[in-house]
Amino acid sequence: MKIETVGIVGFGVMGAAIGLNAAASGYRVIYKELNDELVAAMYDRWVKGSLEKRVAKGKMTQKEMDEITALISGTSSYADLAPCDLVIEAAVEKMDLKIQVFKDLDAVCRPDAILVSNTSTFLIERLMASVSNPSRTAGLHYFFPANINRLVEVIRQKETSDETFEALMGFAEKNRKVPIAVKDFPGFAINPVFISSYMILDSFYGEQANVATLEHISQQALGVRFGIMWVQNGSGLGTCYHAAVSMNDYLADTDVGYPAVPDQLKSQFESGAPWNLEDGPVADDSELANTVRDRLLGNIFTIATHLVEKEVVSMSDLERGICTALAWPKGPFSMMNALGMDEAARLVALTVESGEYKMPKTFSGGVPVPWPL
């Protein structure tokens, strides 16, 4: 399958970044929005505006900007997406809306055109149920900010053909991304780890710890410059809350399990304010720090093990994906090996005893051997 023209349904911040990345890689891009006025406004803001800033800062020449914009057009009509070899849906995260988008695309696109969703939590198979040729459907999950974050999850549902999958892997590589292969699963590979991590951390907020303390503990535990509370603010607490609800709905009653949505996250989202990262001094309480750290790492180790056991993603791709998308210096399996498998087993057992997860098979017989990285 040769991809030359790419349609983007949804001209918001994510869709715009995906399309700009494609145009900068030489693809013709057609953005689709609800009406012509919105197309024009989004073009001025996300394409012209962002590229002009790069030119002004000397990060791009005017000639380079002109070459990119010459490849970009916009429309309010699905019919104008008929020439596309690939269409990426990047609409707001509402399942009914996305299902309707694919019904509309199926009516106008060529039978061999590849249709993909950039959803972060919904199952690809459910979104594509109305597409007449499901072998040409898949997920192509970019991570925010899509113009900077290099990871792309290429998600195969059970009907996705080898040809479609290989075309999407090649497309991601040509866009200078790091693609990893993922099976259709709630949240795919990276989000089940990240979403559950902030759910665990948020559950300590309030009487037990302030935001500044939780941010510091996550920085120390993961070896990162920007901790999990900071990343939540960047993602938006609305997105974080709804993703947490979705993941819990999908997995809590399965053979994997998943944490409950913390009341603290719900309340903070409903307040309309981000987490206050400067809400007081970092607590000098080693017992608290160890408790939070153990729960955070135990959660990461448990869900990561389940993902590999279920063959959602390979161990190497999950390691690569976590380090690329989340900028963690070590992936879950490298962290377990570094801590020692005795300690990893203790933390997994602690997590399972808390009632959040079922026990992964790897740890059900006691302490396993180190992961073969």
Q: Which residues are catalytic?
A: 141
Q: Residues with Cβ < 8 Å from 150, sequence gap 6 or more?
A: 176, 177, 178, 324
C-beta neighbour count of 79 within 10 angstroms:
10
Say how far apart CA 197 and CA 296 lie, in whole Å.
6
DSSP reduced 3-state for 283:
coil
**Burial tier of 223 (Cβ tally within 10 Å: 0-12, 13-18, 19+):** exposed
Phi, then psi, of 60 in degrees rounded to 5: -155, 145
- State both tokens at 91: 């609409």
Say how far apart CA 81 and CA 8 lie, in whole Å.
9
Q: Where are the beta strands (DSSP E) in 111-251?
A: 114-117, 137-142, 151-156, 178-183
